[in-house]
């Protein structure tokens, strides 16, 4: 069955960027509860301990993972801990400005060396148990009472902290525990080149928060693979209009799946949708305000004020209002010294998102971006920790010095989460509970809106099957 048979409106990339699609029987046979049809996802994939253990063994240790932002470790000696599936990795800024990723386990008796985020005093990692020490690069610098150990225990290469591969891209630090993994940009192809023209490398953290959700890590991130849920989940974004309006808006979005499990949705090109975009000045301004007040991301209060400033300058029914509003935003940025990305075709991605397999998403808009990262929590397939970043582009020389996690906040915390994320979080946990209904066996996916989900699952099966003996 081809994607054209499913729905000609849903685009699969072509040529070298094309996804591999449904897996052959030999791959399916190696994975429990495997994907067998792109339209259906077996429910066990979200809670099976067997699949969870396979992910721990074959996915996380062999994947490129977005572990940190460079601004979390701006100075030599700065570190931040990245945890994934019971594994702790330290991301450490070196004296020459480079970055290393070190397994957070003392080579003596496995004690975790440091936790969280901070600065290493004296440029040393010190074991809190027996005082063994390491330099920033992971090389051994001191063994307390070393004369008490046989020479075989003190080999310098063996004493060095184990390393991961590290590469940076657009201000993000990516790690791979597999020292034989292919280069990062090979893995991020082709979506890296879609994001780069949007200036995400110039963006910095406005805020960074986490929430712990009673849901599988895949369930949590899939909520953001499509805009199909907006009409019911975020009714305020319809601004008083009905379901027909919501369906028109949903049809103005184009979806594309890529190789390596990646995916994208963005504004449809003219001719890709049977509906023309619906905009007037007040709708445009109100949509921006709802994003600014509802999540403080993608569109910010400063953007809304600039848009509002056009009310008495541009007629409400001017069909070019949205473009004039964006031009005003760019004029403000130029005067304020904010390095916005050049205007161009990439702007079609504004308001959409890019998913980077296995667990990172970016949703750019203007000079801002909302970013998500989903990871297992506490070795439980039905819990995850979900990171949320609001990113923005600051005037040159006025960027925040260091990005720090604001905290872990309950999903219903109205002081720390806006209405939009609270609405999403509530659905995610309800989905997870519903999986255990004896009357439910599998998710059924729209061939217009949701094949990005099956693309991710099919890639996951390929990753696991490639290493299962």
Q: What is the mean pLDDT of residues 153-173?
A: 97
**How many secondary structure helices (H) and strands (E) does the chain include?**
14, 21
Residue 90 confidence (pLDDT): 98
Domain parsing of the chain, residue ranges? 9-62+189-278+336-468, 65-180
Report yes or no: 67 and 83 within 8 Å, Cβ to Cβ. Answer: no
271 pLDDT more than 70: no
The share of the chain scoring above pLDDT 70, in percent, equals 95
5 pLDDT more than 50: no
Report yes or no: 65 and 175 within 8 Å, Cβ to Cβ. Answer: yes
Answer with the residue of higher pLDDT: 40 or 3.
40
Q: What is the mean pLDDT of residues 142-148?
A: 97
444 pLDDT more than 60: yes
**Model-level pTM?**
0.94
Cβ neighbours, 10 Å, residue 447 = 17
Cβ neighbours, 10 Å, residue 43 = 17
Residue 11 confidence (pLDDT): 62
CATH class of the domain comprising 65-180: mainly beta
**SS3 state at 354:** strand
The share of the chain scoring above pLDDT 90, in percent, equals 83
What 8-state DSSP symbol labels residue 278? -
For the chain, give the number of residues: 469
274 pLDDT more than 90: no
Q: For residue range 169-228, what is the model confidence (pLDDT) as tens digits?
A: 999 999 999 999 999 999 999 999 999 999 999 999 999 999 999 999 999 999 999 998
- Asked, colleague to colleague, whether 9-62+189-278+336-468 and 65-180 share their fold, the answer is no
CA distances from 269 to 9, 42, 244, 352, 364 (A): 12, 34, 21, 13, 17
pLDDT bucket at 114, cuts 50 / 70 / 90: very high
Answer with the residue of higher pLDDT: 328 or 4.
328
**CATH no. for 9-62+189-278+336-468:** 3.90.380.10
Place of tokens 């928060």: 209
Report yes or no: 307 and 288 within 8 Å, Cβ to Cβ. Answer: yes
Q: Is 19 exposed, middle or buried (0-12, 13-18, 19+ CB in 10 A)?
A: buried
Residue 469 confidence (pLDDT): 81
**SS3 state at 387:** strand
Residue 273 confidence (pLDDT): 47
Q: Which of 3-17, 207-221, 412-426 has the lowest mean pLDDT?
A: 3-17
6 pLDDT more than 70: no
Residue 7 confidence (pLDDT): 41
**Pair type for strands 380-392 and 172-176:** unpaired
CA distances from 304 to 290, 390, 418 (A): 10, 16, 17
Q: What is the mean pLDDT of residues 157-176?
A: 98
What integer best gives the mean pLDDT of the chain? 93
235 pLDDT more than 90: no
């Amino acid at each position: 069955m081809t994607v054209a048979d499913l729905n000609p409106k849903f685009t699969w990339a072509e040529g070298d960027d094309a996804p591999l699609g449904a897996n052959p029987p030999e791959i399916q046979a190696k994975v429990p509860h495997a994907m067998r049809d792109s339209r259906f996802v077996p429910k066990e994939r979200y809670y099976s301990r067997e699949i969870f253990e396979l992910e721990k063994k074959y996915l996380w240790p062999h994947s490129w993972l977005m572990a940190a932002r460079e601004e979390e470790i701006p100075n030599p000696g700065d570190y931040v801990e990245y945890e994934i599936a019971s594994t702790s990795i330290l991301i450490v800024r070196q004296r020459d400005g480079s970055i290393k990723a070190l397994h957070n386990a003392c080579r003596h008796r496995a004690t975790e060396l440091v936790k969280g985020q901070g600065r290493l005093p004296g440029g040393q990692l010190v074991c809190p148990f027996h005082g063994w020490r390491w330099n920033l690069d992971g090389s051994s610098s001191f063994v307390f009472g070393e004369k008490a150990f046989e020479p075989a225990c003190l080999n310098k290469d063996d004493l060095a902290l184990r390393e991961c591969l590290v590469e940076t891209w657009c201000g993000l630090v990516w790690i791979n525990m597999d020292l034989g993994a292919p280069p990062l940009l090979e893995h991020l192809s082709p979506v890296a080149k879609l994001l780069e023209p949007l200036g995400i490398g110039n963006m910095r953290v406005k805020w960074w928060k986490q929430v712990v959700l009673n849901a599988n890590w895949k369930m949590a991130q899939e909520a953001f693979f499509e805009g199909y849920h907006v009409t019911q989940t975020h009714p305020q974004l319809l601004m008083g209009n009905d379901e027909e309006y919501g369906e028109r808006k949903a049809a103005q979005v184009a979806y594309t799946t890529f190789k390596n499990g990646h995916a994208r949705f963005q504004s449809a090109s003219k001719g890709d949708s049977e509906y023309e975009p619906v905009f007037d000045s007040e709708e445009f301004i109100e949509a921006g305000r709802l994003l600014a007040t509802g999540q403080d991301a993608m569109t910010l209060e400063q953007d809304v004020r600039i848009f509002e400033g056009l009310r008495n300058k541009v007629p409400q029914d001017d069909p070019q209002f949205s473009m004039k509003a964006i031009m005003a935003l760019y004029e403000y940025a130029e005067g304020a010294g904010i390095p916005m990305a050049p205007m161009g075709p990439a702007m079609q991605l504004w308001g959409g998102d890019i998913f980077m397999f296995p667990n990172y998403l970016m949703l750019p808009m203007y000079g801002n971006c909302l970013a998500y990262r989903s990871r297992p929590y506490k070795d439980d397939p039905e819990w995850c920790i979900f990171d949320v970043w609001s990113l923005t582009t600051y005037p040159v020389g006025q960027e925040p010095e260091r990005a720090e996690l604001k905290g872990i906040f309950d999903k219903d915390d109205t002081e720390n989460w806006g209405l939009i994320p609270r609405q999403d979080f509530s659905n995610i946990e309800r989905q997870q509970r519903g999986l255990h209904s004896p009357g439910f066996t599998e998710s059924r996916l729209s061939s217009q809106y949701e094949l990005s989900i099956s693309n991710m699952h099919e890639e996951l099966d390929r990753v696991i099957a490639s290493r299962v003996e």
